[in-house]
Amino acid sequence: MDAISALQLLLLPAGALAVAGFARRMNWSAPLLLVLAGLIVSVIPGVPEYHLSPEIVLLVFLPPLLYSAALDSSYLKLRDVKRPIALLSVGLVLFSMLAIGLTAYAMIPGLALAAAMALGAIVAPPDAVAAAAIGRKLGLPRRTMTVLTGESLFNDATALTAYRVAVGVIAGASASFLTATGEFLYAAGVGLMIGMVIAYLAGLLLTKIDDALVANAFSLMIPYAAYLAAEVVHASGVISVVIVGIYLGHQMSNTSYGTRLLSRAVWQVVDYLLEAIVFALIGLQLLPLIRGLEGENPWQMTGYAVTLFLVAVLARFVWLIPGTYLPRVLSSKIRARETPIPWQQVVVVGWAGMRGVVSLAAAFALPVGSLPQRERNLLLFLTFAVVIGTLVIQGLSFPWLIRRLGISNERERFQDNLTEAAAQQAAAAAGLARLDELVAEGVLDVHEHVVEQLRTRSEHSALQAWERLGGGTGPEGEETPATVYRRLRREMLAAERQVFIRMRDQRRIDDEVLRRVMAELDFEEATLERD
């Protein structure tokens, strides 16, 4: 690789990070802005073409993004909504594949049924990254967020397995319904078992490593190990990665505090970088795809794209509405166990079907030569059109829809603060009781002022939790003691930092000393942060 090629390669992440940073600063949706920026940049003369490599997406980008999302999810909450997640991640994907595939087969002259079904499998799975980011920012209810996250974790496995079967048919391999079902069950079952084994071994190792840096460096390899171990035996690497992530996220409390603190920062950076590059790549595919359609009727291509976009959107609602309400009608156990789902939340979940980079990667992975070049170019274009259509149209209107329907999680946040305050009080009482035991036993020669400081700190933590029930401010905007404490302590920390920096500049302390004390001050300031 020469210097010019290396520079072009560097421009992609640099530009993506710049756009994502601007979106954060303006409080806009970074995925949507990145896609739009990629679309604009792709048609500027002189800009190098960035071809989406399916191998890089599926082997480099997908495992860590899936793992990070699974790591940040809740096993207990996912278990509570396992039925709707299964209906969406398996049932809806297969239903969407059939609806889109059959529509394409009936609409496009000369398109083989297997190729149409491959297209259906390609664009069937939504990517909830953009929807989840918007929903989290606007305060979607916790159950809705859990359903969207769980769907995005498992639906790729369903779609990619169905896609593999369709590609096998295109390539000439015989595939009856029983064969396809058996391959699907094998991929899912073996992927699940491999994921469980790797999850147990990785969890055992992470709990034994006390060095946070070593533990997190090791954790970066875990999603790739889980994915490749399953793919080597033709099982679902996606399911394997997701299982490992969910298990380790549930067991993270058993690792050292240093590992937990560093892990959150590491995976936030990984997510931020990879998602920025991925969404920018989606937009940058416009020009190469248009060139592949030279000689085609543009109005006819537009008609195909609009029709399949509408089918993809409508199929989600057609499946979702009866899938949500029929089980409650038919089963008294479900009615007794689950609270009624407001129609507003059903509408939001239905509109959250934005497609993403997995669909594009699968389309680009269609084997060259297995289809006539015209058909392959057509499938690539239609996939791109559905992905862009859902990201732009649904993505841009998603915040408006949430606000228009008046959906929020304010009640849940209040309940969280209430339960946290009660837990903090119980924990503080246990800590103070243990302190009294140690002092009474005379195990340590403790000065009274040390004991008093420990008591004050414990009581302060409990009081902070109760004060947050008032939203962080007192009556008529008056700040609570906890709010005042955090604000004043931040000012003190800023002044202390200036002293250390000035002493370093005066050569009175070494840079190593400065880094050590700055880390201590930074950690203390981090403990002052509250959502």
Give per-residue pLDDT as tens, 208-235: 888 889 999 999 999 999 999 999 998 8
Domain that holds residue 482: 418-528
Is the pTM higher than 0.85? The answer reads no
Q: What pLDDT, on the 0 to 100 scale, is given for residue 25? A: 87
Q: What pLDDT, on the 0 to 100 scale, is given for residue 476? A: 47
CATH value at residue 402? 1.20.1530.20
- Angle ∠(389,390,393) on CA atoms, nearest 5: 70
* Backbone φ and ψ of 479, nearest 5°: -75, 140
Low-confidence ranges of the chain (pLDDT < 70): 1-6, 128-131, 133, 171-178, 408-424, 442-447, 457, 459-482, 529-531
Q: What pLDDT, on the 0 to 100 scale, is given for residue 295? A: 77
Q: What pLDDT, on the 0 to 100 scale, is given for residue 410? A: 66
Inter-residue contact 57 to 267 (CB < 8 Å): no
Tell me the helices (H) and strands (E) count for the chain, helix number first: 26, 0
Amino acid of residue 9: L
Q: What pLDDT, on the 0 to 100 scale, is given for residue 413? A: 65
Q: What pLDDT, on the 0 to 100 scale, is given for residue 506? A: 84
Q: What pLDDT, on the 0 to 100 scale, is given for residue 311? A: 96
Tokens of 392: 């732009």
Q: Are residues 207 and 250 in the same domain?
A: yes
Give the end of a domain, one of 379, 408, 437. Answer: 408
Q: Are residues 203 and 90 in the same domain?
A: yes
What is each CA distance from 522 to 107, 125, 516, 518, 529, in whole angstroms?
A: 61, 42, 10, 6, 11
Q: Are residues 219 and 321 in the same domain?
A: yes
Q: What pLDDT, on the 0 to 100 scale, is given for residue 382? A: 93
Q: Are residues 323 and 422 in the same domain?
A: no
Start-to-end Cα distance in the chain: 46
Residue 413 lies in a domain: no
Q: Are residues 272 and 308 in the same domain?
A: yes
